[in-house]
Structure 1
Amino acid sequence: MESAIDQHLKCPRTLSRRVDDDYQPPFPMWVARADASLQQVVMAYLGIQFREEQREAALKAMRDIVASFGLADGPQQHDLTHHTDNQGYENFIVVGYWRDSAAYCRWLRSPEVDGWWSSEDRLGEGLGYFREIIAPRAEQFETLYGFRDDLPGVGGVMDGISGDIEEHGYWGSMRDRFPVSQTDRMRPSGELRVVSGDPAKGGRVLVQGHDNIALIRSGQDWAEAGDEERALYFDEMLPPLLQGMDFLRDEGQALGCYSNRFVRNIDLDGNLLDIAYDIGHWRSLDRLERWAESHPTHLRIFTTFFRVAAGLQKLRLYHEVSVSDARSQMFEYINCHPRTGMLRDAQPMQA
């Protein structure tokens, strides 16, 4: 048994864990590992928003973004998703991961990428675009996997997998897996602010984030699952999960959830794959924890998972959670409806 916090990220604790030192988890789980050369990762969510009749144009835009990943300094890991939001708009999201923030900056500033995003053509196509990008330092994110190979998400840019870890299976274990939690409570500071543009008018809108916005990606992969595990997922796990995700999407604002999207993975032609995940932005890790520990919509998800977790063979479940500094965030929107992502909760800058 080992700690979720790797040895090179350990430091003298000033804040205690949520469990005693002799705690034994109820079943095995693992975390992604990276060597000390990994200082910061970049998680880029690049979206296209459209109506059904614009699907072909949106697919082309999605493929253009994916093609740009093949340029110098593109991401080491990416995936594609689709979802329909609660305003009836469809959305493709291209999600890219870099383990080198300097490489990401070179990619972002390349003439091909910057020129495409900055082009006036984006304003007149009838599509919406957004890019929601965070770059947590190595001590500012944690992972958790119920499997040990072919890691999705940020695990795909790391170097390997841990042995069985201690910090899981109890309330507060998510926080305890963060290396920064040894000395920092990760409290938020400031508010979301619109720094340019007007969400109500469309066009280009830039939102300024704040320190310690929390981002969770929580996924399920049933591609290799047999009939019994598929039935378990669709009949027992998915109904309470969808209920919880819809609740956060529609009513999460009062709880500190800025944005919640339950997405399905797709291929380049937009065909659905047997993989799905939630993308949730929260004001703080504390707000995410409060929902997870006390709200009926999450308690139903959690108790179902605990009941079946030890028997899972091919159904792959995981999550990654991060916080980030305001200076390491970008939230930018072009012609998106005003309830997209951070637009809903962003306040106008004071004169």
Structure 2
Amino acid sequence: MESAIDTHLKCPRTLSRRVSEDYTPPFPMFVARGDKAIQQTVMAYFGVQFEDESKRPQALAAFQHIIGTFSLADGPLSHDLTHHVDNQDHHNLMAVAYWTDPAAYCRWLRSDDVNGWWSADERLDEGLGYFREIIAPRADQFETLYAFTEDFPGIGGVMGERGTGSTVSGEIEEHGYWGSMRDRIPASQVDWMEATEDLVVVSGDPSKDGRVIVRGHDNIAVIRSGQEWSAAGEEERNLFFDEILPSLQDGMDFLRDNGAEMGCYSNRFVRSIDIDGNELDESYNIGHWRALDKLERWAESHPTHLRIFVTFFRVVAGLEKLRLYHEVSVSDAKDQMFEYINCHPQTGMMRDAQALA
């Protein structure tokens, strides 16, 4: 048994863990181990939004253009593609991309091919919405958790040397209890990771078409929580669709529609797709929260999550091919970017952002 926090990220604790030192988890779970040279990562969400089904071919072409820029110099080490319909009945195609070198990301972002396309006036007149939501947590500001030990999705797939797949921990101590998510984040040893400011619209007007930029704040928490069943047999597929998915869908819909009162800025339950828009056997939730404590409070007390948690505890020990995981991060305001073009005003950070005084 070992700590989820890697040895090079450990420091003398000034804040206690949520469990006693002799705690033993009820089942095995694992985390990704990264290259010690990685000091900061970039987790980027690029979206194309459309309402009218007739716009799908145009939206898919724009989406494929964005994905094509990933192959340029300094592009992401890994990416995956998703689709979801939000509670305003808009379709959203979203690419999720990962870097382990923020400098490479900045060079890519500022390149003529990338910046020129995003900044072009044509983006304002296409009848499509676009968004970029970027966070860049330091190595001590995020954690991972897996019920499996290889082929990690998301950030866990790029944390090795030169962007290769991560190594894996042994069985870890910090899981299976309320507060374990926080205890796996190295910064929790010395930092409460609280939010002290608000989202602010610094450019544009969310109620009108055009470009909108939202300024974030320290310690926005982002969770990606996934389920992948491509290799699962009939029994595990039935387990997912009949037992896990119903409670999961209820919880995700609740946060999508009522998240503001819980401190959840945005919640998207997405289905993985290929580059042509065909569905794959994977889904995940992307949730942006005001701070980690808001996410914890919902997880520990709200019926929609308690049903998810109870179901997970009941089935996890018997899983073989059904892959469940998550990654959670916080980040500093200076390491965030939230930009929207012609998106409806309930999109992402715009819903809860205050007008600049």
Normalised by the shorter chain, which TM-score bucket?
A: over 0.9
Match of 1:268 in 2: 275
Instruction: Confirm whether residue 158 of structure 1 aligns to residue 159 of structure 2.
Output: yes
Match of 2:99 in 1: 98
Q: 1:35 deviation in Å? A: 2.2
SS in 1 for 2:63: helix
* Rounded Cα–Cα distance in structure 2 between residues aligned with 1:201 and 1:171: 42
SS in 1 for 2:20: coil
Instruction: Confirm whether residue 187 of structure 1 aligns to residue 188 of structure 2.
Output: no
Match of 1:258 in 2: 265
Match of 2:131 in 1: 130
Match of 2:45 in 1: 45
Match of 1:286 in 2: 293
Match of 1:14 in 2: 14
* Rounded Cα–Cα distance in structure 2 between residues aligned with 1:34 and 1:326: 24
Match of 1:218 in 2: 225
TM-score (norm 2): 0.98
Aligned amino acid, residue 29 of structure 2: M
Where does structure 1 differ by over 3 angstroms across 4 or more consecutive aligned residues?
Answer: none
* Rounded Cα–Cα distance in structure 2 between residues aligned with 1:96 and 1:189: 28
Match of 1:148 in 2: 149
Q: Percentage identity across aligned positions?
A: 71
Match of 1:65 in 2: 66
Instruction: Confirm whether residue 204 of structure 1 aligns to residue 205 of structure 2.
Output: no
Deviations 1:302-343 (A, max 9, x none): 000000000000000000000000000000000000000000
Aligned amino acid, residue 77 of structure 2: Q
SS in 1 for 2:337: strand
Alignment gaps of 5+ in structure 2: 161-166
Alignment gaps of 5+ in structure 1: none
SS in 2 for 1:24: coil
* Rounded Cα–Cα distance in structure 2 between residues aligned with 1:335 and 1:78: 24
Match of 1:31 in 2: 31
Deviations 1:148-197 (A, max 9, x none): 11100000111211111000000000000000000000001210000000
Aligned amino acid, residue 300 of structure 2: E
Q: 1:202 deviation in Å? A: 1.6
* Rounded Cα–Cα distance in structure 2 between residues aligned with 1:128 and 1:66: 16
Instruction: Confirm whether residue 239 of structure 1 aligns to residue 240 of structure 2.
Output: no
Match of 1:248 in 2: 255
Match of 1:326 in 2: 333
Superposition pairs of residues 309-324 of structure 1, within 5 angstroms:
309-324=316-331
SS in 2 for 1:133: strand
Q: 1:105 deviation in Å? A: 0.3
Deviations 1:38-72 (A, max 9, x none): 00000000000012110001111111111100000
* Rounded Cα–Cα distance in structure 1 between residues aligned with 2:35 and 2:68: 29
TM-score (norm 1): 0.99
